[in-house]
Homo-oligomer: A and B are copies of this chain.
Amino acid sequence: MAVGLKQPGKLYPVLGLELATTAAGIRYQGRDDLLVIRLSEGANVSAVFTQNKCCAAPVTLAKAHMAESETRALLINSGNANAVTGELGMQNASQSCAELAKLMGFSTEQVLPFSTGVIGEQLNMLAMNNGIQSLVGPHSVGQFSDNNWLRAAQAIMTTDTVAKAVSCQLELGGDLITITGITKGSGMICPNMATMLAYVATDANISKQNLDALLMRGTQSSFNRITVDSDTSTNDALVLMATGKAQAEPLTGDSLEGFYQQLESVLVELATSIIRDGEGATKFVKVEVSGGCNQSDCSAIAYSIAHSPLVKTALFASDPNWGRILMALGKAPVESLDMSLVDIQIGCVSLIEKGQPAPSYTEEAGKSVFVEEEIHIHVALNQGSERFHVWTSDLSHEYVSINADYRS
C-alpha cells in the first residue's frame, strides 16, 4: 500500500565502493538477505545510530569498531536484528566481522556489522558463515560490483513493500560527483523486524570532520523527522560514506554547502520513502507547525499530532474529523500555547482561525482534502518565528494486521 512510491530510478555507481549480495537463508528463503559493502582505502565514514537504550549487539559493536579503525567493509543482514541477544549476540556479531575481515584481508575492527529483523532471537551463524563464504570466500568470484545498488536495496528489506534507493549527480568545481543511497524500514520502528537502515555514499572528497557535520545536519532534517508509529527501533543506523575518488581536493566552503543541499534532498527522499511505505500506510502526511516561540514547542506539537492514534485513524478514514487534531494540539506538553492565536489549515482549506472554527469551513471542503493521498496539516501558532515539520502515515487495519501477524 505504498503511497506515491515508485521503483527506484537509475542508480549511479559511486567510485571506490562496491557491493555484493547473497541469499544466505538467515530467515527468508529464496531472496538475498546478506549484503557486503566494500570501501576503497581512505574513504571517510560517518554514522548515527538509534538512541534506544536497548540497542542491538551490532549497533554497540559498529560504534566500537568505528572508534578504533578506518572502516573498509559493512556487513549487513536482514531477517534477524540480533537485538536483546545477550553476550552470545555480541559474540556472534563479532565473529561474523572477524570471518569477513579474515577473508577480505582486513582487521576485524575495519568491518561494521548491521542487522535488521526479528528481535530476541540468536543469529543463525551457520547461514551467516555460509553467506560470507559465498561472497568473499576462496570460491567466490566476481560477486562485487559498483552496479549492485538495487540488489543491495532489495537484500536489506524486511516488511518493506518496495526497494528504496535514490541517486543523483552534480558537478562541483569541474568534478562530476555522485550521491547514491539506499534505505529500508516501514516504520520508524518495526516490531519484530526492527528498523530503519540507510547507507548513503558519495565519491566526493570530504574530510571526516566535515562528513560528521553534514550527517548530523542532514539527519535532523530527514530521518529525525519521520514517524510511523512513534516506536524507536533497537537497530536504526544511518551511514554516510565518502570515498573521495571523484576529486583530488577536499570540498570546502560554498562547494561543501552545495554538496550538502544535494545530500539533504537525497536524505529527505530516502526518509520520506520509508513513510510512503509505512506499515499499512494509505496516506502520506506532512505535519507542519510554524510561528512557535521555540523549536521544541513546534516539535512537541507536530509529534503530538503525528503520533495520535485518533488523528491517524481519522486520516485513514478520509474523515475531516478535525476536532481530533485540536485535541492532539491541546494535549501537547507545551507551556505557552495561546489557543486564541492558532490557525490551522489542511491543504488549502482553513479549519481554525484564531482558535475558532473558520467561518468559511464546510464539511464538503474538509472532505475534499482529507480524501487526498498526500495531506498537509499546517498549524500556525502565531506566537513566534520558529517552525518544525514531521512526516507521518495513517493508522489502518493493515497496520494492525502486519504487526499482529508478523511472527506467524
Chain A residues near B (Cβ < 8 Å): 51-55, 81, 83-87, 118-120, 187-192, 194, 229-234, 307-310, 313-314, 316-317, 319, 321-324, 326-332, 334, 337, 339, 352, 355-357, 395-397, 399-401, 403-408
Contact = CB atoms under 8 A, between A and B. Distances in A.
5 nearest interchain CB pairs?
A119-B323, A54-B330, A317-B404, A313-B403, A120-B323
Contact of A230 (B87, B307, B330, B355): B307
A338 to B, nearest CB: 9
Given A229-B310, A319-B407, 7 more contacts: A54-B326, A191-B323, A194-B327, A231-B309, A319-B404, A319-B408, A397-B401
A332 to B, nearest CB: 8
A331 to B, nearest CB: 4
Nearest to A351: B120
A303 to B, nearest CB: 11
Given A192-B324, A326-B84, A400 B407 contact: no
A408 B314 CA distance: 11
Nearest to A404: B317
Contacts of A314: 191, 403-404
7 contacts: A54-B339, A84-B357, A120-B322, A229-B310, A233-B327, A234-B330, A321-B406
Nearest to A332: B53
B405 A331 contact: no
A403 B313 CA distance: 6
A189 B397 contact: no
B357 A119 contact: no
A229 B304 CA distance: 12
A327 B188 contact: yes
A400 B403 contact: no
A232 to B, nearest CB: 4
B329 A54 contact: yes
Contacts of A194: 327
A231 B327 contact: yes
Contacts of A397: 397, 400-401
B86 A53 contact: no
Contact of A310 (B189, B330, B355): B189
A357 B120 contact: yes
A400 B192 contact: no
Nearest to A232: B331
B356 A52 contact: no
Contact of A330 (B52, B313, B405): B52
Contacts of A53: 329-332, 334, 337, 339
Contacts of A87: 356
A323 B400 contact: no
A308 to B, nearest CB: 5
Most buried by B among A191, A229, A323, A326: A323
B54 A310 contact: no
B406 A52 contact: no
A158 to B, nearest CB: 13
A328 B231 contact: yes
A327 B230 contact: no
Contact of A327 (B119, B326, B339): B119
A23 B327 CA distance: 28
Nearest to A55: B330
A406 B395 CA distance: 15
